[in-house]
Amino acid sequence: MGDGLYANHTGNQLERTVRDLFSAAGFTLMRHRDYEVARTGLLGATIGEDLLLSDVPYTSIYGHSGKTEFLALSKRLGLNMRIECKWQQSSGSVDEKLPYLYLNCLEAMPEEQILIVIDGEGFKPGAKNWLREAVAQQRYRSEANAHKLIRVQSLVEFITWANRTLRV
């Protein structure tokens, strides 16, 4: 398996863990575009109360189309939370994209709750810490985005959060 395919495979394992945890908690999993069609009612489909949508679009700070792995919606739990998954098992370029990701969370993603699940041992030294510190210190905040709750969690921290928060 080439480096690029291996990176996709390991990143998909992180996303699969997110899907499995939400599914086990009774969330309906569906693609965002299918949700948009179902929401119109044209197909007669019903939409559950607890949803985990995948491939959720947004317009990036550059004005380009971007997609986030997930959007968790639950009236019961008060969730309207975008979930970004970043895994880096070996050296690569994911860590160089962390400032871009953070600025998109602040400026481009419309949700007030954003969770970044970040893990793997391949990040450059200091990369994950930079992201955690930027979020904790609220770097680059403005009045327009001061209301946003952005969190950064490792996979273990995310599993712990999910086990506490997503109880059925």
Q: pLDDT (tens digit, 9 = 90+) per residue, 143-153?
A: 888 899 999 99
Tens digits of residue pLDDT in 24-55: 999 999 999 999 888 876 655 567 889 999 99
Q: What mean pLDDT comes out for the span 156-160?
A: 96
d(CA 148, CA 139): 12
Domain encompassing residue 90? 3-165
Confidence of residue 9 (pLDDT cuts 50, 70, 90): very low
Tens digits of residue pLDDT in 86-136: 998 877 677 788 999 999 999 999 999 999 999 998 899 899 999 999 999
Q: Which of 80, 101, 61 is nearest to 149 (CA)?
A: 80
Of the CA atoms within 13 Å of residue 113, those in its CB half-sphere come to 11
DSSP E strands, the chain: 28-31, 50-59, 65-74, 79-87, 113-119, 149-153
**pTM attached to this predicted model:** 0.88
Q: In the chain, how many domains are there?
A: 1
Q: What mean pLDDT comes out for the span 2-14?
A: 56
30-39, 56-65, 152-161: least confident range: 30-39
d(CA 149, CA 115): 8
